[in-house]
Structures are given as structure tokens and as C-alpha cells.
Structure 1
Amino acid sequence: MDIMTLLAIIISSSIMAAAPLIFTALGGVFSERSGIVNIGLEGLMVIGAFSAIIFNLGTSHIFGAATPWVSILFAMLIAGVFSLLHGLASITFRADQVVSGVAINFLALGLSIFLVKKIYGKAQTEMILTNIRKIDIPVLSKIPIIGKLFFSNVSYVAYVSIILSFVVWYILFKTPFGLRLRAVGEHPMAADTMGINVTLMRYIGVFLSGVLGGAGGAVYSQSITLDFSYSTITGQGFMALAAMIFGKWHPLGAMGAALFFGFAQSLSIVGSRIPFLENVPSVFLLIAPYVLTILALAGFIGRADAPKALGQPYIKGKR
């Protein structure tokens, strides 16, 4: 295998594996920039994956080739609504945000498996036939060298996630909405004094985390696992959370970290096809993403300052 082919395999697999993490990490950025800790990203991915697969299986005869895209939109809506449970507990009732996020994770997995058993009589759905396929991006894939490395054997949704990172950066740092969202996460009392509805902005942040977390789960289930079971989402939400922290709560930093973790995940998928990794026991390749995540957070993140009001319930008029 020549070096160009080897690099093309690694890069395309890394970008595909990173896409669900990018979507979910961006959702986490919205939530935590508004001041709400969201440990429940894993659960939001679970709900997104479940919703997308169920919708895909039930409507593929209606939407045809567009089914995966419509399924992503459906999963975004369902996960967005589901995330409001976390908002209700954390914002309205001022419950411990970490505990609420953990509860969301357990509830999402338990509810989805219960519904799958009710619908299919077993704990696993059928395989979807209409999925997110790898393609060569028209025109761009023809560019010498770069085209083969970055635009061949990938999916459109992977590049949508990268473009979205820049869109989220612009929204957060270049628009009045982004300024308000960051303000309620840094100093909610000052924001309230300036007439910003702190409760509403935090609900919007949590809702957007659900929307993007659902997209991440939908992309993962429709491009990698192609079905839904209790093990479809196993740690990807926590890796997205780590990417958000590793990226220092910045959309572009989160994207870069997600690409790094995507590379780590791709090793477990394509490692057997890479000459210098083909003899490495598969168990080491499977645990590599999680080991690299721990090492990245423990040794290379440097000083990471979270939003100052992160995790602090806001009571109007109380310091």
C-alpha cells in the first residue's frame, strides 16, 4: 500500500468518525456558554440515534435517497425537545446540573431500549438500507493530491459539520445573540440588568445542545452502526464533551479536538488495513480513543477557563 492510499484511508475515516463528535460538541458549547453544564450529551446522542433509525426504517419507502437527511432533521427535533427536560430541572427547578445530566443519560438509554423492545420485540432494530454513504465530492475530488486525500470516500454530512463549526463561531462571537448567550454564562446578573432574559437564553442554549446532539447521534447511527441497540452510542457523547473542554469552550477548538478524537476512533475501524497496525491486537485499537482522550485532557489542554457562571443557578435579584 503506497503512502497516498494510506493517508487517504486514514483522513477520510477520521473525518467521518469526527462528524458526530463535532455536531455534539458544538451543542455542548451552546449549553455551557449559557451557563448550563450538560453532562447529558451522551443521552442526547442516544435519543438522536434512536429517533433517526426508527424514522429511517419507517419512512425509507417514502423519502427514498433523502431518508437519512430527513431522519437527521427528525432526530434533531426529538432530541431538542428531550433536552428541555434537562433545562426544566436545571434552570426552572435549579437542580444540580451534573445530576440532571446523568439522569438524562440513564433516561435516554432506558426509554429508547424500552421502545425498541415494544416496537420490534427485541433489544435491537433492523439494519437500515438507506444510509449516509461515502462518496467522492464532485469537482473537489479531482484536485491533484488534495482531492484524493480530503474529498474522496467521504460524506457530505462530514463537511457540513466542519462548516457548521465556523457558522457557530460567527454566531457566538459576531452576533448580538451570541453576545447575549455568552453574557448569561459569564455574569447573568449583569445580563439581567441590561434587559436580557437569562432564563430564556439558557433554555435556548440547552435546546440547541439537544438539537445538535441529536444530529450527532443520527449521523453516527446512520453512517457507522446502521442500526440501534443499547451499545450504539457507547461513550461518543462523553468524547464530544471532552472535545468541547479540550477546545476550551470555543467552536473551532471543539472542532479541532473532535477531529483529533475522530482520528483516534478511526484507528479502531481501519487499523487492520494499515500495514504498521495490522498486527496490533484489536483490543488496543478499540481502547485507543479513550486513552488518547484522557491523555489529551490531562496533559495537553493547558489552562481552560470555563464560563464563570457555569453550573450556577440564577435567582433573579439574588447575588
Structure 2
Amino acid sequence: MEQSSVFDVIIIGGSYAGLSAAMTLGRSLKKVLVIDSGEPCNKPTPHSHNFLTQDGKTPSEISSLAQQQVSQYNTVHFHTDVAIDGKKTAEGFEISTQSGKKFETEKLIFATGVKDNVPNIPGFSECWGKTLIHCPYCHGYEFHGKKTGIWAPAEKAFHLAGLVNNLTQDLTMITSNKSDFTTEQLEKLQQHNIKIEEGEIHHIEHENGNMVHIVFKNGKKIRLDALYAGIPFEQHCKIPETLGCEITEQGYIKIDGLQKTTVDGIYACGDNTSPMRSVANAVHQGNFAGAVINKELTEENF
């Protein structure tokens, strides 16, 4: 077939989870192709935290070193492109890319992450990943003791409140409807002196992504150093659904305890499978997915 190559495993997504899987498979001499567009979800984030040996490094520093180390295994190949389609074949799967390339594989890993649907609020995108943050484990320590807000659906906001209250005593919940919280939740927030600000956000005043004020549609503004925002997301890659992989009610690719999707021969790892969006978790899942696939390929051919 024109413009085609055959691999044991194709990994779509070359960030932390994908590179971790590639290293595991490369060390087992499997022929691997990593297809990646070079646009990771955490690109706006200035520093990555809570991952041993790499705490405080930029996301690009970590991924560049990872790719350099994975590249030492000569059975691992890289292709900068966007995977746009996939289909089942008699031998496994065929992946088509934006540039017109076609690749075949027996096993397929999706390490494609998710896409955050940033709201159309002036100043939001400029602050996203810097002072507009999503995870107290990834970013919370840097803002401990600071004026902090939480803006998310009530259940998620309440869950975050307990975690963030451990980091700062100056915490404000921002909601468009105070009644979204249960009576018990409101009592708990009051018990911990957590303020509630009711209103629709109009824009965010900032200095180079450093938040200064949240400005409401009624004209009121409050001073904040950081805001946890629970915004919706979607799968970055639609190919898993095209191939029949089940998606959970929360929007993640459904996997079992071995990183297997609901389609035989397809695996997934990283942010596209779990709300635990961290470098450490992505590396763990990728490493495990690679080991599981290597075991299956070995058993099939031994």
C-alpha cells in the first residue's frame, strides 16, 4: 500500500503518557510509531509540579527530555502529524493522518489527552494555566495563603473547597446561584469561614496572566490571586469513538484495570481516561499500558 508502514504498536499522542508507553515498548524491542501534533494541553502552564525529579520544570523541558531519552531506543519512531481517522483491518488497525500518510498496526494506544473548552470571558484564556488553575495538587502550593477563589459546578466546587481550604484561609466560592449548594454544604462553608460571592463573571483583570480582579456583570469586583475553575472538556481526538470505544458519562474513554478500552486491541492512558490530570499519573498509566501490550504481543508470538 502506498505511503504505509507497519508497526507492532501505534501510539497517538506523544506527551507524558504516550512517551512513557513508548519507552516501555522500546525497551522490549517492539516496533513503535508515535504520532503527535506537538500541541499539548498544558502548553500555557509555566511550571509543572508534584512529579518527583521534575518538580518546577516547564512542561516542555520534561517532554523534551523524555522524547530525547525515548529516541535512544531505535525501534521507536516519531511522526509529527495529526491523526484524523482510523479503521479496523484484518491484522489490526489503519491510521490516516492529516498529511495523507497511512500506517498499520496490531495494537493501538490513545494518549491524546483532552481539550479544555475555555469560556469566552475576556482575560480567561490569558490567565488559564497560570493563575486560573484546575488542580490543587498541581498548582495549589504556589498559591498557599493567597486570596483564592473557586468557580465550578456546585458539587465540584464543594469538593475543591475542602482541599483548597487546607492551603488558604482566604477562600471565596463564586457561583451564579447560591441555591445550587445544599443546606448542609452551605453550613459547612460557613463553618470554615468560606465566603460565597453570587454573580456572573464579566471579565478578569490581569497583568500578563497574573490575576488581579474578578469583575462581575453587575460591576462589582473582587481581588483574587488565583481562581480554581472547573470548565467543561472534550476528547482531543475523536478516533476512539469512531472505532467504537465507549465513552463514560463524565466524558472519558472507558478503560479497565489494564488500560484496555472496550474495543479489543485498543488501549488508552493519560488525561483522556481519568480526572487525575497530572504528569505523574500520565507517566504511570503509559508505563503500565506499554507493559500490558508487550505481554500480550509476547504471548501471541511465543
TM-score for the superposition, normalised by structure 1: 0.23
Q: Which has the larger radius of gyration?
A: 2
Q: Which has the higher helix share?
A: 1
Flag the structure with higher strand content. Answer: 2
Which structure is richer in relative contact order (CA contacts within 8 A, separation 6 or more)?
1
